Amino acid sequence: MVRPGKKCTILIVGIGILLLGWATLTAKTESPKDDIYQQLKLFSDVLNLVQDQYVEKVDSQELVRGAVNGMLRSLDPHSSFLTPEDYKELQIETKGKFGGIGIEITVRDNVLTVVTPLEGTPADTAGIQSNDKIIKIDGELTQEMSLMDAVQKMRGPKGTKVKLTILRQGEKKPLEFELTRDIIAIRSVRTQPLEPGYGYVRISSFQSGTDTDLRKVLDKLESDNRPLRGILLDLRNNPGGLLDQAVAVSDEFLDKGLIVYTGGRLESQKMTFDAVKNDKPRNYPIVVLINGGSASAAEIVAGALQDHKRALVLGERSFGKGSVQTVIPLNNGYAVRLTTSLYYTPSGRSIQATGIEPDIAVKREIPQDDDGEPPPTGVRIREQNLPRHMEQPMGDEASETRPKEEPGRPVQDWVQKDNQVKRALDLLKSYEIMHKMHFN
């Protein structure tokens, strides 16, 4: 910054020099606030030009909304402008119950792309796959459609229909899917017995009440298995959710120590979350299952348990979404979803665009169908594949998996068909054997 006194000295010494260097001098003496005013003047000029000379009459409110949305979308894949309708949709999602088809989507290379269908939903039943490109919704092209617009078009009352036109790798022409909407009540926690003494716990997302549901499931497993020798915590294809729920789930298995901390430009964005001693100890062995669809809150849990050596992490490298979004309400029901900080595991790892590396890498072996052919699977999308993602070193791709609890199928049958679950169960058994050998 050039002080006023210094500027006067330059004026006295040589007016010729000042004239030659006026543009440079004024640029140096301008404050950041002056620069913002100049940019706002540019925006105002363009807005006036569009209003005065565009071929059709335009709604100034729509122009401003579009400009704000474009500004936020230019930052990273997760920041966005929320209309009142979008904001309500976001609040509905965190409660885990809505009318729709059950699909997680993102925008990749400017194309609406499937991350994963949710288990047991219309999208899952119809055969929608990871990495499917949605090019039309009810015949309307999605090229210029925002993510929230696409979500709203796929949402709707139970029993109504929606048609998706999809491009899929390996298919020569677009695929048409007509889906009947249902009530998507996401059951974030479920359990299934493996063998006497061993439990399987699946968390499909982190929503309001996940921690409460988990405690109920663990209490039942501990009551039915005396003693409970170990559990498999399945976080595969878990897209994340609420930060406080990830902290609460991690805390359920930790009695002390750091769970996660966040870092941003502002002091208010720098937060730490610590474990507290549980009234009911849960000190049995744990194997956590992850894959390329495990993101955000799921990575917080896996990273915390891994860093504290409280669990063994098995599977494939996770998605790598290490950023925290804050939803900031505005006037008239609008809101901004803004990336405000990055989160770090207890050891100081940022998993942004790198993901959590498993302690034991086990790729999913896709079982063959009755005709001897393996079912088709999509290529897993990660944070590093999204435009404008925050960079970190990148690693290998991981494949898709989705274990299912099928009615009428013996427990051991689905375990044998899921090689990652089978390997995790074997590890739990070997842990007990090694423990006995060590202490006997």
Q: Is 321 a known active-site residue? A: yes
In angstroms, rounded to a whole number, what is the distance separating the alpha carbons of residues 289 and 408?
24
Given 321, 323, 341, 418, the catalytic residue = 321
Q: How many CB atoms lie under 10 A from the CB of residue 430?
A: 10
Given 130, 294, 296, 318, the catalytic residue = 296
Query: Tokens in use for 390?
Result: 């925050």
Given 213, 307, 318, 418, the catalytic residue = 307
Calculate ∠ Cα 67-68-74, nearest 5°: 90
DSSP string, 364-413: --PPP-TTSPPPP-PPPP-GGGSTTPPP---------------TT--HHH
- As a whole number of angstroms, the longest Cα–Cα distance in the chain is 94
Q: How many residues does the chain have?
A: 440
Query: Tokens in use for 438?
Result: 């060590």
Would you say 384 and 353 are in contact if contact means Cβ atoms under 8 Å apart? yes
According to DSSP, the residues that pair with 326 across neighbouring strands are: 338
Tokens 């690693």, residue located: 395
Would you say 251 and 329 are in contact if contact means Cβ atoms under 8 Å apart? no
| Pair type for strands 271-274 and 323-329 | unpaired
Q: Is 307 a known active-site residue? A: yes
Please tell me whether the peptide bond between 227 and the residue prior to it is cis, using omega within 30 degrees of 0.
yes
**CB proximity list for 209: less than 8 A, separation 6 or greater:** 96, 188
In angstroms, rounded to a whole number, what is the distance separating the alpha carbons of residues 293 and 203?
13
In angstroms, rounded to a whole number, what is the distance separating the alpha carbons of residues 416 and 389?
38
Q: How many CB atoms lie under 10 A from the CB of residue 141?
A: 11
Query: Tokens in use for 131?
Result: 């990495």
Query: Tokens in use for 356?
Result: 């959590």
Catalytic residues: 296, 307, 321
